[in-house]
Chains A and B, each alone.
Chain A
Amino acid sequence: MTNTVLAFTLLLLAPLTVLAQTPARFNVPVEYFTLPNGLKVVVSEDRSAPVVLVEVMYNIGFRIEPKGRTGFAHLFEHMMFQGSAQVKKMEHVGIMQQAGGVVNGSTRLDYTNYFQALPSNALDVALWLEADRMKSLDVSADNLKNQQNVVSEEVRVNVLNQPHGSFEWLDLWQRANSNWANAHNFYGDLADLEAATLDDVRCQPIASAGVRASLSSLVKRRSSRCGGSLTSDGAGSD
């Protein structure tokens, strides 16, 4: 069972209206609330420039990858750019760029984040794009195969064919740690990446989080089909 797995951060920056004095101590406004569907929302207003930063952080990271599923957290990050019910493949990036924004995502030890900085007048579009892929990611065989190849190539470029590329990904963590969570291949064994199935991706907690949000339920019910998949409560096999 998991608790809320989503944190949604909205950093609102509107046109400059007040020239503030240098504060005696660091202090930024923080407005924090939880939507009825369980989504945590943080708003921090900053009027120093007409720019808004929208980030969605999911409680999914390398550490909860089960054995035989190395690299899946990162693979799923890629899947989140492959389109959703209302958004075509990579259209999220295109819309943001056309609005004058920049967009990216990253996978870390304990979270995956998706973020965009853009002119504040395009805020609604960014929220809509994030909402659409949160609830209706297009997990298709074509998209999965495509991203299995993309991620595998990324592994070859950054790790396998990079001078000393193994140091960060295949040597240091493996020698420094003895537990699976901290000592496995985070970028992913090519055989594991190749073995990813549609069910693996559909059962990924980010995908189920979208379903959960739409059902206004915080309780994740793991179907038997998802038994071996990543879980956001740290219950990945050790």
Chain B
Amino acid sequence: MLVGQLSDFGNGGITDHDQDRIIRRVVGPEERLADVRTSGITAAELAQSKTALRSAFLEDMEGGFMPRFGRANLLAAFALFDDDPKRVNTILDELDKVTLDDVKAAAGRWFVSTNRTSIDSRPVSKPTTGGGQ
């Protein structure tokens, strides 16, 4: 749901307060993404992101759904889709190569409003028969 379509929520008893809340929730991240598109992120933010991804990767390689599942699953995926399971040992190098310019370029390409879907899901006052919404 695009920002421009938020007026669709004006029906069905949604209050002005709800409307404001929805718009804040959607527009807030949008403004932040606009910053990334135009200014990129800082070197410190990039370093922090890389550390977080590295940490998550290593943790996954140790475990996951069950002991060593993360490693086995990535090896299988690299074998199946890339015919190169040894990528498991170089993917962190690929992560390290990401630059500030890469982030900015990716944001400019992908973090655009037409690529975003936002749904405000709420309970109905009377359940429909047979469950569901």
Contacts and interface: CB of A to CB of B under 8 A. Distances in A.
Contacts of A104: 65-66
A30 B131 contact: no
Contacts of A46: 68, 71
Contacts of A13: 67-68
Interface residues of B, number: 32
Interface stretch (A65-73, A127-135, A167-175, A195-203): A167-175
Interface in A133-150: none
Contact of A44 (B66, B72, B121): B72
B28 interface: no
Contacts of B79: 7, 9, 32, 40, 42, 57
B87 to A, nearest CB: 9
A30 B91 CA distance: 14
Contacts, number: 113
Given A30-B75, A51-B68, A115-B66, A176 B117 contact: yes
Interface of B: 1, 57-58, 61, 65-69, 71-73, 75-77, 79-81, 83, 85-86, 88-89, 92, 117, 119, 121, 123, 130-133
Contacts of B123: 163-164
A163 B72 CA distance: 34
A77 interface: no
10 contacts: A7-B76, A32-B85, A46-B68, A53-B69, A55-B73, A56-B76, A57-B73, A160-B132, A161-B131, A163-B123
A113 B76 contact: yes
Interface residues of A, number: 45
Given A44-B75, A53-B66, A160-B131, 20 more contacts: A4-B80, A9-B79, A26-B89, A28-B61, A28-B71, A30-B86, A30-B88, A30-B89, A32-B79, A32-B86, A40-B83, A55-B69, A104-B66, A113-B76, A115-B73, A116-B66, A117-B68, A160-B132, A175-B119, A176-B117
Given A32-B85, A164-B121, A115 B92 contact: no
B52 to A, nearest CB: 16
A156 interface: yes
Top-10 shortest CB links A-B: A7-B80, A176-B117, A57-B76, A9-B76, A161-B131, A7-B79, A117-B66, A53-B68, A11-B72, A7-B76
Interface of A: 4, 6-11, 13, 25-28, 30, 32, 40, 42, 44, 46, 49, 51, 53-57, 59, 102, 104, 110-111, 113, 115-117, 156, 160-161, 163-164, 166-167, 171-172, 175-176
